[in-house]
A and B are shown apart, each in its own frame.
Chain A
């Protein structure tokens, strides 16, 4: 394979990863890392470095749109970023200490978990019985968003901010360690633990992912794990794919795509496991 052929292949793989990632609500990272390592023989550290950069691109692009639609809870995002950035730095630092084998193993486990999470039934009920949180009151975390489907403003209260911080630290560690956005961990932390409406959780998670990823990308850059020859096609490809994916999102039957994809994810997860053992 000549360098330009490799470049084209990495770009194509990233384009597909970005497209699938946005259609399925996963980031591109969880797809692009196994593709680069298993198919194109890229060192997993460079794959992680390239992925984390592409995560910033897609998150920032999507966040720009969500903020305009006033779906993001900026205050909750800023508050929780205390935990995700601390976690991301810990994770990126840990990644330098773990051997490559362990990275494969941890990746396989997180990937398997994400596959199962995709089957979790999404619900968006306003839970009026949520526990009162003095901290959330003091920080004025409660907010209102306009629900397009319901055509009305919906008020919501934020519960358990401390639990949210703890879960976000874990999400940050996973993100920093594996170079993924870890939206699969962030959304449930907000939606289930903190009782944010699912649409707000998704938009706020996306908004936070860029900052989380920037924290770990800083560590990866300083360590020399961001190889421009690999990061260039990955960043451009994932961003292109996810932009296209966002355009067609409303027009496809996602439940069938999901079912097929869960099987693919589990299979790839097994491949990574084998490589790690």
Chain B
């Protein structure tokens, strides 16, 4: 905005639209994920009444020895069985995906605005985010 040409009114309006879209996307993603996490937690305790009374069950849950859905496949299978912890994991994945979606939307916005340098910068950031999942598996 401080450089050479003054942007026209239409361009400013487009920037504003993008900002609002990003803001709504972030808010929506957080609300959806928290709803899934709360719902999944409720289902977990309903399915396992022992969790309310039995102290012996804590260690396995806390230390992960009982196992929990930790892969995409495991989460899909768990969702099929309507398992509480799989619903929680889905909520956590929605949360992780929220900033990723924000970056993806930004690429479109920069392309739309004809800003090539920033479309490329943002695309690289998106590629890095996707790479993180692949690298994590390799490092496991």
Contact = CB atoms under 8 A, between A and B. Distances in A.
A249 B42 CA distance: 31
Given A4-B52, A210-B99, A228-B85, A57 B132 contact: no
Contact of B54 (A2, A74, A79, A223): A2
Contact of A42 (B33, B62, B129, B130): B62
Contact of A92 (B71, B91, B106, B136): B136
B133 interface: yes
A258 B88 CA distance: 35
Contacts of A144: 1-2
A78 B128 contact: no
Interface in A211-228: 211, 213-224, 226-228
A4 B45 contact: yes
Contacts of A46: 62-64
B58 A3 contact: yes
A185 interface: no
Nearest to B15: A74
Chain B at the A interface: SS class: helix
Interface string B100-137: 10110010000000000110011011001111111111
Given A4-B51, A229-B61, A85 B38 contact: no
B98 A60 contact: yes
Interface string B53-95: 1110110011110001111000000000000010011011101
Interface size class of A (residues with CB under 8 A): 35 or more
A228 B69 contact: yes
B139 A210 contact: no
A43 interface: yes
Contact of A41 (B30, B34, B37, B62): B62
A82 B117 CA distance: 13
A222 B140 contact: yes
Given A56-B95, A221-B93, A89 B132 contact: yes
Interface in B1-15: 1-3
Nearest to A94: B139
Contacts of B47: none
A74 B136 CA distance: 28
A256 interface: no
Contact of B85 (A63, A86, A92, A229): A229
Nearest to B48: A3
A33 interface: no
Contact of A3 (B24, B27, B57, B93): B57
Interface of B: 1-3, 19-20, 22-24, 26-27, 29-30, 33-34, 37-38, 40-41, 44-45, 48, 51-55, 57-58, 61-64, 68-71, 85, 88-89, 91-93, 95-100, 102-103, 106, 117-118, 121-122, 124-125, 128-137, 139-140
12 contacts: A3-B54, A4-B51, A57-B30, A57-B34, A78-B121, A81-B125, A82-B124, A93-B139, A96-B140, A211-B100, A224-B71, A231-B88
A-B pairs with lowest CB-CB distance, top 10: A222-B136, A218-B132, A219-B136, A3-B51, A228-B88, A210-B99, A224-B70, A64-B26, A214-B99, A85-B128
Given A78-B106, A218-B133, A236-B38, 12 more contacts: A2-B54, A6-B58, A61-B30, A139-B117, A140-B3, A142-B2, A210-B99, A211-B103, A228-B89, A229-B68, A232-B37, A232-B88
